[in-house]
Amino acid sequence: MDSLRIYNTLSREKETFVPLTPGEVRMYVCGMTVYDYCHIGHARVMVAFDLVQRWLRALGYRVTYVRNITDIDDKIIRRAVENGETIGALTDRFIRAMHEDADALGVARPDHEPRATRYIPQMLSMIDRLEHNGYAYQGTDGDVNFAVRKFANYGQLSGKSLEDLRAGERVTTNEAKADPLDFVLWKQAKADEPPESKWDSRWGHGRPGWHIECSAMACELLGERFDIHGGGQDLQFPHHENEIAQSEGASGAHFVNYWMHNGYIQIDNEKMSKSLGNFFTIREVLERFDAEVLRFFILRAHYRSPLNYSDVHLDDARAGLTRLYTALKDVEPDTGALDWNEAFAARFRAAMNDDFNTVVAVSALFELASEVNRTREPALARQLRGLGNLLGLLERDPRAFLQSAAGAQGAGEGLDAQAIEASIEARAAAKRAKNYAEADRIRGALLAAGVVLEDKPGGATEWRRA
């Protein structure tokens, strides 16, 4: 196959992917902080890097995929106290919800899903090494901080200079720190915080800072140097910049070869934000749209591009996915293997190898669907389904998808499958009685309710949601 090229945020250009170990890929992605339900920004991260690991495996790589869970931080502590429940009960509940959302979206579980609270010893060990190497110090308030100016390459990922950062410093000077730019590695425990949020250390009782969590878990599970680190664009600075400083400050080794960041979710052209009131959880979206439609909506855009969420765009994604499933409805794919020499597959492969360009890959699927409709060739239907499967799409029975209500126009009319079948039988009876006006009325009523009828040769009638 053609060489895979990845846009590396660190170099700001596409690079030919060369793994550290031939045939193997080690990848870490920053996961969720579990104090609430996942929102559609989380959906984009999950789907984008699920796509990456799927394609890497399709290329024949042995992939070790790690996506962490942050189960201790200020928001989690505050929410647990507000709810009157333990931190463990809160985080367990939202981890279950996260898994339910990911499963609905067809997101495969990562090979490892470390929880921060289970890697405290590794975090303390890394902080100890940072202190020994001269990068960490304990402030007068008891917090242990990273001395940013002592790390020569700070700002390499974000392109921010120390001068720019200092000039843009808006946080009130913290007298306990040696420099306002320094960030916390170990937070001194507060007296009013629950006991389960505190761990013992030689710097006193406390808990880890957010940045050290990912550095410690990534290095423990993938080694001090690995291939790919991913996450949302919003994590590029300061989180990933701080991860580089900590990890390289502790080990002295280059941390990650390829940095990948997916773009923001926008709501009607504005960045999604709770403060703006344009915030949607995955669960809220799935009440109205099929989960595969949401996945397809995310994959139709390039992972690095901003993604504008709106009902109109979800409806358009539903129509597009309906078109692909409709092509498979009446043509049974043959059982052969995916043929990469076939023209549409070759175009799909070239697109995916060009920094996971799903925009072009999906366009190849649509062109292939048109050929399936024109030729009714089982081999082309096999190609369409097989390529779609590589994106986590087209894995259901076509009729089951086409008759599913979520996201279909008119779904709110309340017609379930049983009622639709009853109406179709009434229409058939009217036709047998030569009452064609009644038959037409029933067809029109179903169409108004978002149900399309298709009369087949031999007298059978099939239906799908509009």
The DSSP string of 38-65 is -BHHHHHHHHHHHHHHHHHHHTT-EEEE
| DSSP output for 158-183 | TT--HHHHHHT--SPP-TTSSSTT-E
pLDDT digits (tens, 9 = 90+) for 239-272: 999 999 999 999 999 999 999 999 999 887 777 7
The residues, any chain, with a CB within 8 Å of residue 407's CB and separated by 6 or more, are 288, 289, 290, 293, 314, 315, 318
Q: Where are the beta strands (DSSP E) in 214-279?
A: 226-232, 256-262, 265-267, 270-271
Annotated binding residue at 30?
A: yes
Pairwise CA distance, residues 14 & 8, whole Å:
6
Which pairing describes strands 226-232 and 62-67: parallel, antiparallel, or unpaired? unpaired
> Residue 459: is its pLDDT beyond 80?
no
Least confident of 56-70, 356-370, 402-416: 402-416
Residue 159 Rama label (left phi>0; alpha psi -120 to 50; beta): left
**Count of CB atoms situated within 10 Å of the CB of 391:** 23
243 among the known binding-site residues?
yes
Q: What is the pLDDT of residues 121-163, one digit of tens each?
A: 999 999 999 999 999 999 999 999 999 999 999 999 999 888 8
What gap in Å lies between CA 215 and CA 250, rounded to an integer? 10
In one-letter notation, the amino acid at residue 378 is: P
Q: Is residue 410's pLDDT more than 60?
A: no
User: Residue 171 pLDDT > 70, yes or no?
Assistant: no
- What average pLDDT does this structure show over 195-221? 97
Q: Is 239 annotated as a binding residue?
A: yes
Band of the pLDDT at 39, cuts 50, 70, 90? Answer: very high
Q: Domains in the chain and their CATH numbers?
A: 19-266 (3.40.50.620), 311-402 (1.20.120.640), 411-465 (no CATH)
Average pLDDT over residues 358-371: 98
Q: What is the pLDDT of residue 406?
A: 58
Q: Is 38 annotated as a binding residue?
A: no
pTM of this structure: 0.91
Residue 229 CA: distances (Å) to CA of 24, 68, 129 = 15, 12, 22
